[in-house]
Amino acid sequence: MNHPLENKRALVTGGSRGIGAAIVKRLAREGAHVALTYISKPDQANETAQAAEALGVRALAIQADSADAQAVAAAVERTVAEFGGIDILVNNAGIGVFAPVADYRLEDFDRTLAVNLRAVFVATQTAVKYMQTGGRVITIGSCNAERMPFAGGAVYAMSKAALVGLVKGLARDLGPRGITVNNVQPGPIDTDLNPASGDFADMLRSLMALPRYGSGDEVAALVAYLAGPEAGFVTGASLTIDGGFTA
């Protein structure tokens, strides 16, 4: 089997389940040693790490709430200490709190920005201190940055749209060092948080060109491409994988 990421060292935030777990396993399959962060459910996080280790790489589960900037930076530092460096950072952790604007709580607004934006900046700022030429920073955004077709999603959409600008700016900052920065924007993906059989599934499928949910593995494949050597000339981009949700 080809291992284009052999001996690369990666950190995936929010990597214990769903899209994050799929990314952890895909990077491991391609040869990368992978650390992942989680908030709760250590058994689930350790199970994902063990699945990565079964592919012949080192793996590490780190408890860290992405709303805590110090915990985010510490997770990066621990990854570097355990693996001897970091080559790939996948900012996957994110939350979505949906409510009408009149009812939206300020504490939910603040936590959404802390997890979806500040944590991305803090993790990137910490990781790039150790990255060499060829380093990769990949954020997981959302197609809702471009289209929010229902009420109650203003703050979530704002946080994901802001990632587009952050990625463009970081790409300019880090390009001279040979580090690429890109954003992946999934549409409806079949996970425990948004199952293909959920209450909103039929409505979402009706908005798509391909009338099905995507899989975590499909998103992970795009992330693996951006992490690999063939994507060395891709930076500052937001790549949408949404079944035509925004078409």
Task: Give the residues across from 186 on adjacent strands.
Answer: 241
Residue type, 106: L
**Where along the chain do its domains lie?**
9-94+113-142+163-188+217-239
What does the pLDDT look like over 109-141, one tens digit per residue?
999 999 999 999 999 999 999 999 999 999 999
User: Known catalytic residue: 156?
Assistant: yes
Q: Which of 38, 130, 156, 213 is catalytic?
A: 156
Q: Which fold has domain 9-94+113-142+163-188+217-239?
A: Rossmann fold (3.40.50)
Q: How far apart are alpha carbons 8 and 34 in whole angstroms?
A: 9
Q: How far apart are alpha carbons 50 and 59 in whole angstroms?
A: 7
What does the pLDDT look like over 77-110, one tens digit per residue?
999 999 999 999 999 999 999 999 999 999 999 9
Q: Which residues, including other chains, have CB under 8 Å from residue 124's CB and lie 6 or more apart? A: 89, 91, 137, 170, 181
The whole-model pTM stands at 0.97
